[in-house]
Amino acid sequence: MSGPVERGESRAVLSGTVLTAAGSLIYYLMPAYLGSVDRMLRVSPSSLGTLSAVEVWSIALTSLFGPFWIARFDWRLMVRIGAAIAFAGQFASIWMTSFNLLLAVRIITGLAGEGLLLALSFSILGQTRNVDRSFGMAMTASVVMGTLCVYPAPQLDRAIGGNGVLAVLAALALLAFAISFIVPARVTKTLPVARAPASASATRIPAIWRNLGILVLIAQTIWFAGPGGFWAFSERIAANNGMAADHVAQAMALGMAAGLIGTILPTIFGDRFGRTGPIVLATLVMGVVIYRFGMAAGFAEGVVELVLFNVAWNYGSVYLFALACSFDTDGRIAVLLPAFQSIGLALGAFVVGHFVERFGYGVTPMVVGGFLIGAMALIAPGMARRRPRPSDADADTPTLETA
């Protein structure tokens, strides 16, 4: 790899990592965020689920239309716009006392702020040379920052008299604005496309890959609905089991910190051992842990369950993203990853919130289990079919424009 290309690759990974954190940290902070809203505004579980869902759906909507705008505009300008709107939205939300007004502001923040930053980050990371490691690094940074924010969340709330985690998100939006100058301007070449054998149709195999890529995206949506629904209400589940608020924050922070194992492993091993095994293993571990967490009343037991959950969730997520990118030939699947992830997280929070309001928190493992089983049934064809590696194909390699 030549010097300029190597520097461009490093800058792409760095900028993609910062933008990922700025756009997705709300996912990690959602339990603390919803807990703060509940303490400040005293709203119902279904309202909390709706608040979580509409913001995540707003983020998803921006990504969903990504294929129509990702190649039309300068990425650096888009980062500056998204970062400015994200900062304004986070700052304005800190001291709001009206739920309806807060709901409206969070929609705008997700749509034009966090969603824009996250979609761009996935487009950048999805076109680096080692996708597994790039996503692993980005998620590792997000988990570190999320952990540092969750632990002092109750103290931050008391210190500023508002939702403290939003102050952290506002600062992160400023950081995204500051690093916009190292964001790649755009991608100048498409991703590697393996050439079909001479006896095969020139268009048939790519069409199969595209269909499998879409199937993997849909399966990813359902997969994320499981852990997303559980994580959004994990703070309320623990509190309902009798755990003190400060202990809940500590347990969640420790769980997220240990979850770094799940993001670091892919940065070390890449796809050396494939992607099917990690995805299946992560799904099984999450299913068992979520079932047990509903019965965990003690601090130590809750910490263990949240540790295992975060390790499995992060580990499986990296390989799910990489699996989808392996079917990408022009960057249009990569830009859709945040949309399908966000839709899944929002769907999980929305569905679990309504089931909890009707049947209680004990119903959570059954709802989550249904999501995970459905996801694995859909994702199986995508995991079974291996697309040739770029090194096996006679193809171009991606080039990120940095000038």
Domains of the chain by residue range: 3-187+201-390
Question: Average pLDDT of 216-223?
Answer: 89
- The predicted model gives 58-82 an average pLDDT of 87
- Collapsed DSSP state (helix, strand, coil) of residue 400: strand
Tens digit of each residue's pLDDT (9 = 90 or more) over 99-148: 999 999 999 999 999 999 999 998 888 777 788 888 888 888 887 887 77
**Diameter of the chain by CA atoms?**
69
At 202 the pLDDT is 36
Residue 305 pLDDT > 70: yes
**pLDDT(203) > 80:** no
What's the whole-number mean pLDDT along residues 338-367?
85
The band of 19, judged by pLDDT with boundaries at 50, 70 and 90, is: very high
Question: Which is higher by pLDDT, 30 or 83?
Answer: 83
Burial class (CB in 10 A: 0-12, 13-18, 19+), 71: middle
Instruction: Count other Cβ atoms within 10 Å, centred on residue 98.
Output: 10
Cβ-contact 116, 19 below 8 angstroms? no
pLDDT value of residue 32: 79
Q: How confident is the model over 184-207, as a mean pLDDT?
A: 44
- What is the structure's pLDDT at 350? 84
3-17, 104-118, 210-224, range with the lowest pLDDT:
3-17
pLDDT in tens, 388-399: 444 334 344 445
- Report whether pLDDT(207) > 60: no
Residue 289 has pLDDT above 80, yes or no: yes
Q: Which two tokens stand for residue 92?
A: 């304005």
Tally of CB atoms within 10 A around 3: 7
**In angstroms, rounded to a whole number, what is the distance separating the alpha carbons of residues 212 and 210?**
5
**Average pLDDT of span 302-323:** 88
DSSP SS3 for 259: coil
Q: Could you give the residue ranges of the DSSP H alpha helices within 42-130?
A: 45-64, 66-69, 75-93, 99-108, 115-125
**What letters, b where the CB count within 10 A reaches 16 and e where it falls short, cover 362-378?**
eebbebbbebbeebbeb
pLDDT number for residue 52: 83
Higher pLDDT, 247 or 122: 122
Quick check: 229 and 289 in contact, CB under 8 A?
no
* Bridge partner residues of 187 (DSSP): 400
Res 385: pLDDT: 57
Indicate the pLDDT class of residue 47, thresholds 50, 70 and 90: confident
- What contacts 291, CB < 8 A, 6 or more positions away? 365, 369
Q: Where are the alpha helices (DSSP H) in 161-203?
A: 164-178
Question: Is there a contact between 13 and 128 (Cβ–Cβ < 8 Å)?
Answer: yes
> For the domain 3-187+201-390, what is the CATH code?
1.20.1250.20
Mean pLDDT, the chain, whole residue set: 79
Helix/strand/coil for 187 = strand
Instruction: Report pLDDT for 36.
Output: 81
